[in-house]
Amino acid sequence: MAWTRLYRRGVLEAEGFAVEDVSEYLEDPDAVVWVDYCAPTPQDLALLSDELGLHDLAVDDAVKAMQRPKLDRYESHLFLAAYAARLDPTTAELTTTEIAAFITPRALVTVRRCDDFDITDVTRRWDGSPDLAASGVPFLLWGLLDEIVDGYFAVVQDLDTALDALEDALFDDKPRDSEVQRRSFELRKSLVILRRVVLPMREVVNALMRRDIHVLDPAMTPYYQDVYDHVLRASEWTESLRDLVTTILETNVAIQGNRMNLIMKKVTSWAAIIAVPTAITGFYGQNVPYPGFAHPAGFWMSTALIAGMSGVLYWQFRRRDWL
């Protein structure tokens, strides 16, 4: 099912009308139409293509999945491909939803792969700024892009929070090496996916702001500039978080190495202490006469040597912080 809206001179006049009526409404030069499809069939888009005169290549891109974020320019319209992002804080798994948009002078058509991206958030944004609705399609497109980019910020903030918790676990008194390593790779994977959808959006928004595209009017230019600024900040934040994940992984490996060196130092120290009684008892276990041979004094002498030398070694190792 398609969700449709009709604006006339910046005022919402109709909603939920049939797609077949789009061309009839557009006969009025003051009318602006929005059509939204969720998981449409090729027949649905073919009907819309006939109504608006959309290019076959653009329609084909809207049907096929896994388009890169881009802005294609055709003779009668523009084609936009973008991705909305959502993060599961528990698993750190990033989910992206592909969104396509056909941009004509007086119509905006959005195509969603699924309902993971809630289009009601976009309509709520439109309804919250009725003073801008007179700008027509640039106003509708701004609401869509602003909602998508704000979603990037929410994801980046969640990732930043998850990395802060990971840093705390890194220096926990009880080592959690496997958890830190697994979580680091999960976050790194999500950041790589996020980077793929955020970075190209800089070029998309920048292209929309170009004068030769003839999309914006003076009233909407500051709002698109604000979206562009948010895209830049989100991309820079994503890059810094990727560097932070790499630093956490390297720090975790260094901490494991330091911990292993400490363990080896302690084991070596105890081995040296244990070697003392082994050497003394081995010497007194020889089948030859020695001081104290066959007398109780020999036993007490060997015991005293073991205790004394082991105590000296233990004191020396403790003084050097080896134990």
Q: What is the pLDDT of residues 220-266, one digit of tens each?
A: 999 999 999 999 999 999 989 888 888 888 888 787 777 777 778 77
pLDDT tens string 174-199: 777 778 888 888 888 999 999 999 99
Q: Is the domain of 303 the same as that of 190?
A: no
Q: Is the domain of 180 the same as that of 301?
A: no
Which range of residues forms the domain containing residue 56?
A: 2-256
pLDDT at 5 (0 to 100):
93
Mean pLDDT of 114-118: 87
Q: Is the domain of 17 the same as that of 113?
A: yes
- Residue ending a domain, among 238, 256, 274, is 256
Q: Mean pLDDT for the chain?
A: 85
Dihedral, CA of residue 38, residue 125, residue 152 and residue 240, to nearest 10: 160
Q: What is the pTM of this model?
A: 0.78
Residue type, 139: F
Asked if residue 33 has pLDDT above 90, the reply is yes
* Distance between CA atoms of residues 188 and 159, nearest Å: 10
Q: Taking each helix axis from N to C terminus, what angle separates 221-284 and 177-208, rounded to the nearest 10 degrees?
A: 160
Q: Is the domain of 265 the same as that of 250?
A: no
Phi, psi dihedral angles at 89 (to 5 degrees): -60, -25
Asked if residue 288 has pLDDT above 70, the reply is no
Asked if residue 20 has pLDDT above 70, the reply is yes
Q: What's the total number of domains in the chain?
A: 2
The count of residues in the chain is: 323
Q: Is the domain of 208 the same as that of 307?
A: no
pLDDT tens string 61-87: 888 878 889 999 998 899 999 999 999
- Residue ending a domain, among 201, 227, 256, is 256
pLDDT at 95 (0 to 100):
92
Q: Is the domain of 268 the same as that of 157?
A: no
Q: Is the domain of 157 the same as that of 280?
A: no
Q: Is the domain of 280 the same as that of 162?
A: no
- Compute the Cα dihedral for 152, 69, 240, 159 and give only its sign: positive
Mean pLDDT of 113-142: 90
Residue 8: half-sphere exposure toward Cβ, Cα within 13 Å: 8
pLDDT at 286 (0 to 100):
60
**Of 253 and 159, the one with more pLDDT:** 159
pLDDT at 69 (0 to 100):
92
Q: Mean pLDDT highest for which of 42-46, 158-162, 170-174, 272-276?
A: 158-162
Q: Is the domain of 313 the same as that of 247?
A: no
Q: Is the domain of 25 the same as that of 148?
A: yes
Residue 203: half-sphere exposure toward Cβ, Cα within 13 Å: 11
Q: Is the domain of 12 the same as that of 141?
A: yes
Query: What percent of the chain has a predicted confidence (pLDDT) above 70?
Result: 93
Asked if residue 297 has pLDDT above 90, the reply is no
Q: Is the domain of 47 the same as that of 118?
A: yes
